[in-house]
Amino acid sequence: MERIYEILSTIKPGVDYENAENLVDGKILTSLNIARLVAMLNDEFDIEITPIHLIPENFNSVKSIYKLVTMLDGE
């Protein structure tokens, strides 16, 4: 999960990612941030986040992003 924090901090610094639960719904991350995040996660974890996965619930918190990454990593 630490690597996800690092990636998010690179994309948009200064956010309290440990406590944020509304990264998408609260408009903390924009669509461009999400696109960059997806590309970085795909490269870093050797996974493929597809359009079907691009729903706010998967990106609203580090926990939800981690859950998505681990699910895709197991496929």
All domains of the chain, ordered by start, with CATH?
A: 2-73 (1.10.1200.10)
Q: In terms of pTM, does the model score above 0.85?
A: yes
Query: Three-state SS across 10-70?
Result: HHCCCCCCCCCCCCCCCCCCCHHHHHHHHHHHHHHHCCCCCHHHCCHHHCCCHHHHHHHHH
User: Mind listing the pLDDT tens digit for each residue in 14-63?
Assistant: 999 999 999 999 999 999 999 999 999 999 999 999 999 999 999 999 99
